[in-house]
Amino acid sequence: MYLFSSVNFQISFFFVSLQPNLSIDISPMYYIITIVALLAFELLYFWVAKRLHIVDRPNERSSHHRVALLGAGILFYFAILFYSCTHGFPYPRFLIGATLLAVVCYADDLRPLPSWLRMLVQVVAVVVMLYSSLPTLQIWQTLLTVIVFVAILNVYNFMDGINGMLAAYSLVVLGTFAYMALSIQYFVDIEFLATLFIALLIFAFFNFRTNARCFSGDVGSIVMGLTVVFLLTRYDAAIPDNGENVSYMCFIIVFLADGLLTVAKRFLNGKNILEAHREHMYETLVNNLHVPHLRVAASYALLQAAINVGYFLVPDKNLYTFVVALLLVLAYGLFFFYCRRVGKLNA
């Protein structure tokens, strides 16, 4: 039962040839209260962060040059907690996993923790979230699933270094899931997505700027990464494919390809893949080619949006995902080949 059910009313969403009779409960009061609560929380956090000097100071690995407040992405966890408290805790295992990550990642934002501890907590959070699904998987499937999802968490964590990247890209991803839930297969509460959408817009107001006022920190990017993984698993469980169709990874393929190819490149060059660096394609665009942060962030988001639109237009989803992945690999290779030819990687 919704906390604000007294003001609920029915609104119908009509999609040509796609479940035209779908009806979703919408509570205007819930959204008003959510906007006020999340904005108040973010402003309160800014006040606390200023007083306690919780800031991100630029260093040799940074892609920004001004001091900004750190850890503002804790708003995403607060949004999850707010939704859970007002909706009767519908996703308890996800909430537990998000809480574990939020606590450890925020502690890491304040004072760096050992990498093994961060990795352990990420594995535990993913296992807790997937607990009900694990008994149906074979051992090798379980290990592979956990490894892939932990990798996605860390790939998502890289986004926060570029102004507006995390917010813009996540808005596209959540928007894609919202479209799917409304018009193709209902698999998650729309108000859950809407709550996170509001949180992202508030964060974007302060972060999607030439001179960002704040950064998400690990607490925001990792929690948002877990949210994306959670949505992927919910959608996979809802579609009748016996878990064999993995084309839904296409919804985050731009950043996934960039992250995994960068790790592979560093590994082949004999570098420590766990060490912080500035070798992702988007970091190279900003730091070496001097493309403005917001242009890079918008380009990544728009490219992912175009790919997602194409996904819904083609009949063979797996083939489409394979072709997109191949084109991204080729684009990545050609980009760094060009950068080496013109000497930009040493800039």
pLDDT one-digit tens code per residue, 112-140: 899 899 999 999 999 999 887 666 777 88
Reported as a pLDDT band with limits 50, 70 and 90, residue 306 is very high
Which residue is associated with the tokens 């994306």? 228
pLDDT per residue over 230-254, tens digit each? 999 888 888 776 555 778 889 999 9
Q: Please indicate whether residue 3 or residue 145 has the higher confidence score (pLDDT).
A: 145
> How many CA atoms lie less than 13 Å away from 239 in the CB half-sphere?
16
Instruction: Say if residue 164's pLDDT is above 80.
Output: yes
Residue 100 pLDDT > 60, yes or no? yes
What is d(CA 178, CA 191) in angstroms, rounded to the nearest whole number? 10
N- to C-terminal Cα distance for the chain?
58
pLDDT at 75: 97
C-alpha to C-alpha distance for 127 and 107, rounded to whole angstroms: 21
What sign does the CA torsion over 177, 224, 161, 36 have?
positive
Contacts of residue 246, defined as CB under 8 A and 6 or more positions apart, other chains included, come to: 318, 321
| Structure tokens, 116 | 């093994």
pLDDT band at 269 (very low <50, low <70, confident <90, very high): confident
Pairwise CA distance, residues 42 & 59, whole Å: 25
For 68-87, the pLDDT digits (tens) are 899 999 999 999 999 999 99
> In this structure, what is the dihedral angle of CA atoms 163, 222, 310, 339, given to the nearest 10 degrees?
50
Task: Average the pLDDT over each of 91-100, 138-147, 192-201, 240-249 and give the range with the smallest value.
Answer: 240-249
Task: Give the mean pLDDT of 130-156.
Answer: 83
